Amino acid sequence: MPKKICVLGLGYIGLPTALLLANSGYSVTGVDINEKVVKTLNSGELPFKEPGLRELLENAGKNFTAKTQVERADVFIVAVPTPIEKFTKVSDLSYVRLASEMIVPVLKQKNLVILESTVPPGTGERLVIPILEKSGLEIGDFYFAYCPERAIPGRTLYEMVHNDRVVGGYDQLSGKLAKEVYASFVKGEIHITDLKTAEFVKLIENTYRDVNIALANEFALIAEECGIDVWKAIELANRHPRVNILNPGPGVGGHCIAIDPWFLTEHTTRGKLVLMARDVNDYMPNYVLQNVRKMLESIRDATITVFGVAYKGNVDDTRETPALKFIRLAKNEGYEVKCYDPYVSEFEFELCSLEDAVRESDCIVVMTDHSVFKEIDPNYVGKFMRHKQILDTRNIVNREKWNRAGFKVKVLGDGRKV
């Protein structure tokens, strides 16, 4: 078992990985170029919330330290961001490039470098290995593997431990050595394949989900025109043993699913269906606004209250959130928009208390499926509102309860008469 591991990037993926390895007995140095993250961790605090992470940090003890500089190690794991460039939709690999360059001065014979960041197929071989070879070593002198992360935010630690993993080795030994590292904490199966296949697998998993959600969104729009409730229809269709349709909603957000289909298609001229699904999902905030517009038709200087700006329920993450597009579109049309999200502390627009968000409002729009929204008392919020209307894009509110409190309730994808 190699003794020392250096993890580059201490974000949502790198930090839990580093702490799981430290708790498995490795001596782990976590490296982040953001000094604030390093300081926070070394003072015993966490830079973000994730269930179970605090205990792991406390138990890691001397096995984990955070630094801003890379140091010698047996294994290097790279988990830095791979955002998408907004206008061109091309992957931004600058963080991966920099992290690889940071390893060069300390890279030694028989070291193993593992890339975890999500990247377009071929990136390991085309970009990362040539940078590492600037050390004077050749691939074969050191080992290289790509091991995508598949854990879902909100259940990151559980899934990191229990999910199966895919390990793509540059060669057989690289794959075997990387598998040994993960086997220290992974309880799922670890499947070895080649480098490019592993990069591809990660992207098709998320693309599959994006296309499935796009299909559910199309069904929602069709159901509305047909005058039926898509939620009920999907529930019944999913009783078929070979059908599993996901839920419609206000669009697809997050750091992965809205981005990975672009990475998948970056080096190809194919992918029409994949990009059409992207388009369907990206259009959903416009569709939500079209519904809101109808609800506010006869009201002058209308105010909209957005419930939830996180990209999905029960997380504090707002990256690529469909709520942002909805708010911008609504503001451009002259609506006043007030936002309420008890999970989120920082956002492009001001976040209000529940009371302030609904005061003098003409319509609530539920954009995020936070569990706490189910508990909100419509009689209480109704007292503050100018018009009692709610559009639920996630089908989470109890319609009868809100109706009884005097609310007109519209659910996305339910075409039955309100």
Ligand X SMILES: NC(=O)c1ccc[n+]([C@@H]2O[C@H](COP(=O)([O-])OP(=O)(O)OC[C@H]3O[C@@H](n4cnc5c(N)ncnc54)[C@H](O)[C@@H]3O)[C@@H](O)[C@H]2O)c1
Binding site for ligand UD9 (CB under 6 A): 118, 149-153, 205-206, 209, 213, 246-247, 249, 252-254, 256-257, 311-312
For ligand UD9, which is the closer residue by CB, 120 or 378? Answer: 120
Q: Which does 132 bind (CB under 5 to 8 A by kind): ligand UD9, ligand X, none?
A: none
Look up residue 285 and give its two tokens.
């905030």
Q: How far is the CB of 199 from ligand X (least distance, A)?
A: 11
What gap in Å lies between CA 245 and CA 247, rounded to an integer?
7
Task: Confirm whether 187 is a catalytic residue.
Answer: no
Q: Residue 8: which of ligand UD9, ligand X, none does it interact with, CB under 5 to 8 A by kind? A: ligand X
**C-beta of 319: minimal distance to ligand UD9 in Å?**
9
Given CA atoms 317, 51, 211, 222 in this order, what sign does their dihedral have?
Answer: negative
| Selection from 306, 293, 393 nearest residue 354 by Cα | 306
Point out the residue whose Cβ comes nearest to ligand UD9: 256
- To which H or E segment does residue 131 belong? helix 129-132
Residue 103: name the closest of 122, 129, 140, 126 by CA: 129
Q: Active site residue: 179, 202, 312, 388, which one? A: 202
Minimum Å gap between C-beta 388 and ligand UD9 is 26
CB of 174 to ligand X, least distance (A): 20
The tokens for 58 are 């406390």
Q: Residue 181 Cβ, how far from ligand X at the closest point, in Å? A: 17
Residue 81 binding partner per list ligand UD9, ligand X, none, with a CB distance cut-off of 5 to 8 Å that depends on partner kind:
ligand X
Q: Choosing among ligand UD9, ligand X, none, which partner's interface includes residue 91 (Cβ < 5 to 8 Å by kind)?
A: none
Q: Answer yes or no: 410 catalytic.
A: no
> How far is the C-alpha of 242 from the C-alpha of 118, rounded, in Å?
30
**Do 151 and 160 touch, CB atoms closer than 8 A?**
yes
DSSP annotation of 259 reads T
The 3-state secondary structure of 5-49 reads EEEECCCCCHHHHHHHHHHCCCEEEEECCCHHHHHHHHCCCCCCC
**DSSP 8-state assignment for residue 414:** B
Residues forming the site for ligand X (CB under 6 A):
8-14, 31-34, 37, 79-82, 95, 98-99, 102, 116-118, 149, 153, 255-256
Could you say which of ligand X, ligand UD9, none residue 213 binds, taking C-beta under 5 to 8 angstroms by partner kind?
A: ligand UD9
In this complex, which beta carbon is closest to ligand UD9, that of residue 150 or of residue 401? 150
The side-by-side arrangement of strands in the sheet containing 389-392 is 336-340, 303-307, 363-366, 389-392, 408-411
**Enzyme catalytic residues:** 202, 256
